[in-house]
């Protein structure tokens, strides 16, 4: 599986748009940004709550980043922006997107992933294995990250919050997913890595919630049968 890395130019300008949204339009507190390596490949994994998680996190990461984004978002004016920003569209099985993400990591840059796969409650109860695969293939450290406040209970997963909304982004300690020597075969290693990543993300979300009065939404469109609202 091979792919071409998207241009670095997109994140260089688009992260400033994210910073404007995060810190001017909304009031975003960023914790732990200094824990992200300042150079070399990094995978940022984050829980997923609402529509604005991506741009807020893109602005909070202190380096340019390429996010894996479902192709449903790559339409209309927003699609034009995302493609110009050199974000990575996930289509079909996602193999091509993973290949492009791996090329970004091998180039020494940052890839962002929402491993829950869709917007919802943000508890990271169920995650997909793409980020774990990227970590195993690249050896890049993974930074578990929690985002809180982008959607409130009762709001649509597509909500665009009013100006001034309080948001918290909290970066955790980087981890390197090195499978135990006794594990044999790619599937066993992938399963182990996915479990480790999921646990690290859930732990980061839990610890973050313990230190803020902000809360995750109590409703989850996936759980409540409204997942069709989600287009990310």
Question: Within a domain: residue 4?
Answer: no
Question: Within a domain: residue 184?
Answer: yes
Question: Within a domain: residue 28?
Answer: yes
Give the sign of the dihedral formed by CA 27, CA 127, CA 140, CA 192.
positive
Question: Within a domain: residue 151?
Answer: yes
Question: Within a domain: residue 201?
Answer: yes
**Domain limits at 25?**
9-229
Q: What is the pLDDT of residue 231?
A: 36
Question: Within a domain: residue 98?
Answer: yes
Give the sign of the dihedral formed by CA 96, CA 66, CA 232, CA 137.
positive
Q: What is the pLDDT of residue 229?
A: 39
Report the CATH number that the domain containing residue 151 is assigned in CATH.
3.40.1130.10
Q: What is the pLDDT of residue 2?
A: 59
Q: What is the pLDDT of residue 232?
A: 37
Question: Within a domain: residue 2?
Answer: no
Strands 142-148 and 166-171, by their bridges, are antiparallel
Question: Within a domain: residue 1?
Answer: no
Whole-structure pTM value: 0.92
Residue by residue, pLDDT tens for the chain (232 residues) are 558 899 999 999 999 999 999 999 999 999 999 999 999 999 999 999 999 999 999 999 999 999 999 888 888 888 899 999 999 999 888 899 999 999 999 999 999 999 987 777 888 887 888 999 999 999 999 999 999 999 999 999 899 999 999 999 999 999 999 999 888 888 999 999 999 999 999 999 999 999 999 999 988 766 655 543 333 3
Q: What is the pLDDT of residue 121?
A: 84
Q: What is the pLDDT of residue 100?
A: 96
The structural domain count of the chain equals: 1
**Residues near 56 by beta carbon (within 8 Å), at least 6 away in sequence:** 18, 21, 22, 26, 28, 147, 150, 167, 169
Instruction: Assess contact for 101 and 180: CB atoms under 8 A.
Output: no
Q: What is the pLDDT of residue 224?
A: 59
């Amino acid at each position: 599986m091979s792919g071409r890395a998207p241009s670095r130019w997109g994140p260089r300008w688009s992260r400033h748009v994210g910073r404007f949204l995060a810190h001017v339009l909304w009031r975003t507190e960023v914790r732990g940004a200094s824990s992200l390596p300042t150079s070399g490949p990094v995978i940022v994994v984050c829980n997923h709550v609402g529509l604005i998680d991506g741009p807020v996190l893109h602005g909070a990461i202190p380096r340019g980043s390429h996010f894996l984004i479902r192709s449903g978002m790559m339409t209309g004016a927003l699609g034009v922006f995302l493609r110009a920003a050199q974000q990575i569209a996930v289509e079909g099985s996602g193999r091509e997107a993973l290949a492009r993400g791996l090329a970004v990591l091998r180039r020494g840059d940052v890839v962002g992933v929402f491993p829950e796969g869709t917007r919802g409650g943000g508890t990271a109860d169920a995650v997909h294995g793409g980020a774990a695969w990227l970590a195993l293939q690249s050896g890049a450290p993974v930074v578990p990250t929690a985002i809180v406040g982008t959607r409130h209970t009762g709001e649509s997963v597509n909500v665009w919050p009013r100006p001034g909304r309080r948001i918290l982004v909290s970066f955790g300690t980087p981890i390197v997913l090195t499978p135990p020597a006794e594990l044999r075969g790619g599937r066993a290693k992938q399963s182990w890595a996915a479990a480790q990543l999921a646990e690290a993300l859930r732990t980061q979300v839990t610890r973050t919630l313990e230190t803020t009065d902000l809360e995750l939404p109590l409703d989850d469109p996936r759980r409540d049968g409204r997942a069709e609202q989600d287009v990310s």
